[in-house]
Amino acid sequence: MRMLKAQPQSMSNLALEFLILTAARTGEVIGATWSEINSGEKLWVIPGGRMKAGREHAVPLSQAAMDILEKLRHGGELRYLFRGRKYREPMSNMALLEAMRGFKQRKLLKVHAVPHGFRSSYRMWCAEATSYPRELAEFALAHVNKNDVESAYQRGTAVEKRRPMMDDWAAYCLSECNGS
């Protein structure tokens, strides 16, 4: 995150930062539209049709994620949060991967990494550095509960319980950037 923040503020770098802060998939981020954002509730609601599991997914947004959205608003509110080369189209699904490849080529990144790996980083952080329940981490990643009985009874989204977890994740991600 420190390396990302040190780079010029490009649309792909902002999208990559948003992806990290929300633990979302690339397709979810690049397809994100302003109509999915509820700024007052600090919530991003992704329709089921754009989700891997086909179910609507609500993402509580940390202040850091909201700050990215505020930067994007200054560019004018078009349909997509992260627009591509064609101003009214979404960013390419390769844009975030290419941004990371650029970091590697400039020797800023010493390991092979892909955007999806940040979801794994998020999950490891939840498991190893926090006391948040496993179920909350799985909700945040929009993973499907394979236990039929449990999933039949657990129909909620635990958004309010996930909110502090996402705030803590953002604080963790930004801790080196802020000198903490």
Q: Which residue among the candidates 25, 42, 83, 162 is catalytic per the annotation?
A: 25
- In this structure, are residues 151 and 144 in contact, taking their beta carbons and an 8 Å threshold? yes
Q: Which residue among the candidates 83, 119, 132, 162 is catalytic per the annotation?
A: 119
Residue 104 a catalytic site member: no
Number of helices followed by number of strands (H, E) in the chain: 9, 3
Q: Which residue among the candidates 5, 50, 143, 163 is catalytic per the annotation?
A: 143
Within 8 A by CB and 6+ apart from 76, the residues are: none
**DSSP codes, 137-172:** HHHHTTPPP--HHHHHH-----HHHHHHHHHHHHHH
DSSP, collapsed to helix, strand or coil, labels residue 173 as helix
Residue 153 a catalytic site member: yes
Residue 116 a catalytic site member: yes
Q: Which residue among the candidates 2, 52, 71, 104 is catalytic per the annotation?
A: 52
- In this structure, are residues 79 and 34 in contact, taking their beta carbons and an 8 Å threshold? yes
Q: Which residue among the candidates 2, 106, 116, 134 is catalytic per the annotation?
A: 116
Q: Which residue among the candidates 107, 146, 153, 155 is catalytic per the annotation?
A: 153
Residue 25 a catalytic site member: yes
The whole-angstrom separation of Cα 60 and Cα 10 is 24
Active site residues: 25, 52, 116, 119, 143, 153
